[in-house]
Structure 1
Amino acid sequence: MTKLDRRKFITAAGATILTHTLTNSSTANVPATNLKNRVYSSSGNSPEVTTATLGFVPVTSCCPLIIAKAKGFFAQYGMPNVKVMKQPSWAVMRDKLMLGAADDGLDGGHLLFPMIYLMSTGEITYGRKIPMYILARMNVNGQGISLANTYKDLKIGIDSSPLKAAFAKKTQSGETVRCAVPYRRVTGDFFMRWWLAYGGIDPDKDTSIIVIPPPQMVASMRSGSMEAFAVVDPWHHRLIKQKLGYSTVTTGELWNNHPEKGFTVRAQWVDKYPQAAKALLAAVMEAQIWCDKPENKEELFQIVSQREWIGVKSELLRDRLLGKFDYGNGRVVENSPHAIKYWRDSASYPFKSHDLWFLTEDMRWGYRSPDFATKPLIDAVNREDLWREAAKLIGQEAAIPASTSRGIEKFFNGLEFDPENPQAYLRAPKIRIAT
């Protein structure tokens, strides 16, 4: 693939594209000097198309995708006609990605990163393989686990063990203990399992893990149909404000700087339009940088709170995006190191070791055969090579990691994941036995 050079964007195609971008309302707040330095040329590096249809689910991990559109970063990279469309659930995202934009679906978007693998293998797409690429990680951290107020007196935190007796009592009375996750076989599912298992609660025997779309989590808690949920903000903060429950733990406390959503595009689209794919990626990466700058936070809240985007009041977004965690049980943490990150601490780079962790965790919970060949699939789906090219394109060479592995990962429960020895992690016990 042709190596792009920053100096090549400041030329000819600029005349048409720059005129469009400067008059486009979405770029009204972007300095013209910035636009000038980021317009593609017509010398072979310009996008093959100027449009793509991308989707997102309204949770805070989608912020870079919204900002890439609202602040004109897509237009700056020669793609002024990109559509960014809100979707009601991850299942709808999956279905529309199966269709593709040519059939009224989506070309790509913001997705729970394990879903990208499960679509590529056909495991969640009705047996039909939908080749997908991970182009970037959208964020690290950002999830949490909340409980209904029924259990507030137990003062549950990172240790869920006081719930064991309470859940057993509920079950013995003939009721079902339900814990909600946004989708099966993804980080939220695994984090809920980790947290329950650490307290000696078997998530498969002692509870029923159910799937609820993120925007419906709070309403479902209000109805009394579940005990706990794992999801990304702003839904924890809304739960607390409505006095329906409290947060027990943020997922950064379970695994600091854990991988979260992915920026994904259908492989067929990327292969057909490689320059356009790189333009999309560069725009999203620029937006990730913008989202992490303290001076942009207030504007970020104002933009993403609008109805067409996340659509909740900015005060429900502000605190946790700034690293202030009010758990709703008297515990308040200022400047938490576990706040959501979009660019800092290599948040955007799609480490292959994290994808290996997912496939191994999938095996631990019996979703996948331990004999599954992980490397060919990871190499087919993870396009960190495109991320590296895009990093050079936007002048972020210093952000390129030295390795595709982040190294040994350490978790709250004492387990470690060594990408060089995933079998050791695979053999680790799932349920903590009380002593």
Structure 2
Amino acid sequence: MNRRALLATAATLAAVPRIGVQAQGSSAPEVRKATLGYIALTDSAPLIIAREKGFFAKHGLPEVEVSKQASWGATRDNMVLGGGAGGIDGAHLLTPMAYLIHTGRIVQNGQPVPMALLARLNTNGQGISIAAKHAALGVKLDSAPLKRAVNADSKVAMTFRGGTHDLWIRYWLAAGGVNPETDVSTIVVPPPQMVANMRVGTMDAFCVGEPWNAQLVNQRLGHTALVTGELWKDHPEKCLAMRAEWVERHPNAARALTAAVIEAAQWCDLPANKEEMCSILGRRAWFNVPPADIIGRMRGEVDYGDGRRVTNTDITMKFWRDHASYPFRSHDLWFLAENQRWGILPMDLDLNALVAQVNREALWREAAERAGVPAADTPRGTSRGRETFFDGKVFDPENTRAWIESQPIRRAQGA
């Protein structure tokens, strides 16, 4: 998507009619319903809890549906359809997907579907797991030992090309000198199918959210090399994203929906609520997994499956703490820069202009006020500044090109 296409998308977004606005001064939602998609991953908890604990209803949206999706590809397809055509209005989404849909990079015929990113759903909480057949290598935070056992046919799974899990495992492999483009074969596997695919012995490693890394360990099918908070502490992960048309037609409802998710995120982060949260998520209607596969890592208790056991609540999944819910624009820039690094987005794309179109942090602030969040508890700016990774590299959101060029392993278009 070049500058001309980017401007065309902006024009499309600006042309969306604002027909849902109510009488001046009214803050009541224009509608009572929205359909939101989710994947069976623990970081969808704010949407599920907002439904189960009545936060959507509290904010005037009692008919919100939270609908399970089979894969990220299905989520994309249903987002393109939209709620009015039997799809979904928004979703628990891999953050880069909001941008890849918005630019048309992953949409049939390359047709952009304008998107609005309303909130981050979590930070941290993903994992990279290694098959039991490679236990002797002792693979941990350094991926270099894996190079001795893999080749171009070795299968390394993630959940969606260009999504967060793809970027985490690529970054980790490349940092250890393993080229994810040539030294292994990266494949797409839906999150709930990761463990089953590892069981049949066809995969060497995968990156996915919880509870699937913990379940792999519990079933003695492999070990966790690292949790992603070790790769980048408090890294951004999933987001709440909506079709921009829905947000523009229903601005009050968008604020109310985001306020409900903010309150649910606060609820999810209270230690006293962790057990109930995991019990809810484990139900057949939601994940259909034993709560025991969820609760440990939600408390920061990590059994890596290779003899290491730690308790570290600072690198576990966060829903609200440390501004986990706020959609920092600087974090979106990192995701876009990494998609440029791996050739998914072109190098001539104006990243700041794109983030300005999609990221609705101003709406998040309005929703936080509606949810009763004190102004002192919200970030002062839209950037979290320079970020340091486990390998010592520093990402400066003011210079994304320099970040890409500092990476010895990359596949950038026009770099």
Q: Please give the TM-score of this superposition, normalised by the length of structure 2.
A: 0.91
* Higher deviation after alignment, 192-201 or 220-229: 192-201
- Cα offsets for 1:311-330 (capped at 9, x unmatched): 21110000000000000000
Tell me which residue corresponds to 1:415: 393
Does structure 1 retain, via aligned residues, the 8 Å contact 2:164–2:237? Answer: yes
Unaligned runs of 5+ in 1: 1-40
Moved more, 52-61 or 293-302: 293-302
Q: How does 1:4-403 map to 2 (within 5 A)?
A: 44-126=26-108, 127-168=110-151, 176-396=153-373, 397-403=375-381
* Residue identity opposite 2:84 in structure 1: A
Amino acid at match of 1:368: L
Instruction: Give 1:402 shift.
Output: 0.9
Closer, same or farther: CA 68–430 of 1 in aligned 2, 3 Å: farther
After superposition, the Cα gap between the structure-2 partners of 1:42 and 1:179, relative to the gap in structure 1 and judged at 3 Å, is same
Whole-Å separation in 2 of the counterparts to 1:42 and 1:63: 34
Cα deviation digits, residues 213-262 of structure 1 (max 9, x gap)? 00000011111121000000100111111111110001110000000000
Q: Distance in 2 between matches of 1:430 and 1:229?
A: 23
Provide the rounded CA distance (Å) in 1 between the counterparts of 2:143 and 2:112.
Answer: 38
Tell me what 2:19 maps to.
none
**SS state of the match for residue 308, structure 1?**
coil
Relative distance call for 1:377 and 1:42 in structure 2 (3 A) is closer
Greater C-alpha Rg: 1
Whether contact under 8 Å (2:32, 2:63) holds in the other structure is yes
Moved over 4 A (4+): none
Structure-1 separation of matches of 2:39 and 2:254: 21
* Equivalent residue, structure 1, for 2:383: 405
Letter in 2 for 1:403: G
Q: Tell me the amino acid that sits aligned with residue 139 of structure 1.
A: N
Contact 2:256-2:370 within 8 A present in 1 as well: no
The residue type equivalent to 1:145 in the other structure is I
AA matched with 1:100: G
Q: How many residues are matched?
A: 386
Offset, 1:43: 6.3
1:277-322 alpha-carbon deviations (Å, 9 max, x no partner): 1110000000000000111111111111111112211100000000
CA contact 1:182–1:213 (8 Å) conserved in 2: yes
Q: Distance in 1 between matches of 2:244 and 2:309?
A: 44
The alignment partner of 1:163 has SS state of helix
Question: SS of the counterpart of 1:162?
Answer: helix
- Cα deviation for residue 42 of structure 1 reads 11
* CA root-mean-square deviation: 1.4
Hey, what's the Cα distance between the residues in 2 that align with 1:103 and 1:222?
Answer: 38
Shift of 1:209: 0.5
Q: Give the direction of change, closer, same or farther, for the CA distance of 1:375–1:42 in structure 2 (3 Å limit).
A: closer
Cα distance in 2, alignment partners of residues 418 and 242 from structure 1: 41
* Mapped partners of 1:330, 1:42: distance in 2: 62
Query: Using the alignment, how far apart are the partners of 2:146 and 2:276 within structure 1?
Result: 41
1:335-382 residue CA offsets vs partner (Å, 9 max, x unmatched)? 342100000000000000011111111111222222211122111100
How many Å separate the matches in 2 of 1:227 and 1:404? 39
Distance 1:380 1:339 in 2: 31
> Which letter maps to 1:160?
S
Contact 1:73 1:284 in 2 (8 A): yes
Distance 1:42 1:303, change over 3 A: farther
* Other structure's SS at 1:146 match: strand
- 2:270 is aligned with what amino acid? K
1:303 and 1:227 map into 2 onto residues whose CA distance is 32
Report if aligned partners of 1:325, 1:336 keep a CA contact under 8 Å in 2.
no
- State the distance in 2 between where 1:284 and 1:394 align: 9
- SS of the aligned residue for 1:357 comes to helix
Question: AA paired with 1:142?
Answer: G
- The CA deviation at 1:85 is 0.9
- Following superposition, the deviation at residue 398 of structure 1 comes to 2.1
